[in-house]
Structure 1
Amino acid sequence: GASAIQPFRGESAIDAPLAVEIISPKFPTPRAHLAFFRGLLGDLFECAAHLPFNFEGETSRGTEISYLPPTPLWTRLFLEQNSARLGEALRHFLAQPCRDLASEQIWLDAPHATQFDGAALSATAREPSLWHRQKLRLLPSRVAQNRAFEPQGTPENRFAAAFARRLGRAIEPLDGFPEIEGLCAAISARFPPWSEEIAVSPALERRRVSRELLDLWRLWNGAGAPVFARFERAARLRDIAQLYEFWTFFALADAIGRALGQTPHLETSSDEARGLAPLSRAHFSSGTLVFNGPAPSYSTPLRPDFLWLENGVPALAFDAKFRLENSGEEGELRGRGADLHKMHAYRDALGVRGALAIYPGEVSRFFDSSGGKSAFSLGDLLTGAAQGVGLWALRPDVTKTVS
């Protein structure tokens, strides 16, 4: 991982710290380490950005608001997934900002007054100093009038302007979103520099465009933001093992979705130390993928990295094993014996029909409980056509890079 060496003389630093990176001995060369890291990070982002996940929290609105500012990675992910929807909402608002009519009371000289209804008479009657006698009659010198106007500072306009200014600043260092950046700048320029505090009020629910912007604000500042903040921290520390665990969750959800022809819906929360909190889930119509959830066992408690639940009951177990193949060993599954033994333990203790170790290798192999050995098929395992243990070679595309 990333680290630094600080030279000292006594208790005083004598030079600037030297940035160093400790490379895992699992990689044969620094070039291989860097290629895998870049591919892993790039694929993690691609997988999360392009899966049609719905980030859901425990609140009824579908997302939890995060009080951490959205990070650049999360902002890019948010824009990748929602730029068309966001652009339409911003254009609509720019064309039709909130123009609710308001009224204010003004006083005009009596000859210039155009209204003398009940409200004007009542207000004028409460001001005795305005009345004077003229030819035995009491007449007002000035008359109260209600004037209609369009206030700019409505809750809807203040919210949209604050959202646009915050999002515009967040987009500045990112490439690829000139239209959204331009729309944010146009909205910011149209309204005065009010406070950028985001005030969510019932008034935002009145108009469709305001509701849409509010939903997008909640998504940008929602449950996914702190999750991806942890991803970025792991990336800065070059924590490849943790990044591989994160990546495996998304890749596994993607693979299950493709095998079943279903769309995953992600219910996730963050953990300050780990990123994805235990019990983060990817829901499908036929089952649920659970991250780091407890599994009932008739003996020693076990906790596979991922469980596939059907009707709430564990059916499959998966473990992410960040161990590369050792080129000094012989055989297509060299060095994987301990992983297979653990999968047998999972299958026996948890009563699941299948258990697989996921690792960043090149060879997948499945051992059916009937005694046969075959290539791995996730579809057969999900439908129950295959039962047993195996190794699943699942790795990111190392040709991808991250700027």
Structure 2
Amino acid sequence: MLEVGYDPITDTTGVLAFKNFVGTALLAGVKLRVISTKLGETGVSGLLEEVSRLSSSLVFGWRSPAGFSATASGEQQPAVPFHQLQFLRDVILRRQPGQRLQDFFAIVERSPTRRFLLERPVVSTERARNFDARSVTDIFTHPERLIAVRGTDAVSGSPLAQALGIGEPPVEHYPTRVSMSSRRLSYDTPENRFIKHFFGECLAIVYRLLDEANIHAQMRTDCRVMASILEASVRSPFLSEVGVLTAFASPTQALGKGDGYKDILDLWLQLGAHQALPGNEGEVERFIQGKDIALLYEYWVFIKVLEAVCEATGTPSGAVTVSRSDLGEGLARGLVVSLSVGVSVAFNPSYTRSARSAYSTPLRPDVVVTLNGARYAFDAKYRLQWLASLEDSQDDDATFVRADLYKMHTYRDAITDLKAAFIVYPGSEFVFYERGGGRRQRPGEIAVFDGVGAIPARPEGAESSALLDLVQVLVDQG
């Protein structure tokens, strides 16, 4: 409960605190589904679907205790180590006994594949058994193994000693050691090389993120458990003589059909599959760590503002650069998408006193649109004030939190050339307060973009149109 957050009410009841995280979480073996009432049951899927158009492997809130759905994609992109770690966490720690990776390995370990290995050991002459033509050839090509024969030796006068007469007059010689043909059963098979390689890959993924400070504490604990299980498997005696996998063109029959082997092969194929968003409840879960819905909403607002500016100006945005790390992909702070001369959309730009772009402390709005030198800020706020909780309303509608609007005044007053600042939130009320005193309730009513406001925007429903309408009016007036 310390990882999730727990507020006790009585000795047996309490409230779980997931904050802004959504997805699935395990509690005492029970799978909990965590949704956001601000967006509705399908709202998160809507966010994922639209954000995924920017990047197919965005990961949000890897500090979260929850998980969420995702599906494999056919796109040829490198897999994200954090996604692979989540997959390993499931197949090693969360699946039922008998369906885990270590269970499949136990089946392999009980009856690993073997093959006859042809060898030619060099042994003392008296121990030689399988003497063949190659043995004879080796005798004549390795004079360092020969010794002179004395007349009293048992082999003196033998055909081989006479044939090995050296010098003038010839002195008989006889081999002290000879090579012989030998066959033994070995575990060094293509299937076992694959098993050793796969477990090595799994360990590399776990080690890579084992001490990553940015992942959830429970995940770091699970990494240590996984590392212990994988290391024990790699130390299995039968793998000690198995060599390195140098090529893997196609699976052998034993690998594709053998008990344990075929299951591990299937896990390897799943591990290598690119993990992509979005996913839905009807698709196979890929166990991505739960998302911080507030950050996801911030990304979505950036995408919607960028789309709206592109549509209003008739300019395509082109490619949007994402930053990549072992934990996934995301939007880099300070990212600027230039659409045309004088028109750009920035994500998390910084305005500071030293750069003379702000007169006080550093400020970083979520999204800033620049139109011919004038700036307009859009700040994603995943917070609501339910109108039903206010005395003058019995509706289920929701408005913005007043404190969030106060920060827009800070942006408006402190950032150089910033004309207007807006909250973008998942509510239902649109409002814009003009500096001259006007209060506008629709984008088309705004006479002068000089002030602060709030824009309702959600992936589902007509509320998102307010954002598009406002940007259109903004571009038309600019």
Fold conserved (TM > 0.5)? no
Higher helix share: 1
- TM-score for the superposition, normalised by structure 2: 0.38
Q: Say which one has the larger Rg.
A: 2
- TM-score for the superposition, normalised by structure 1: 0.45
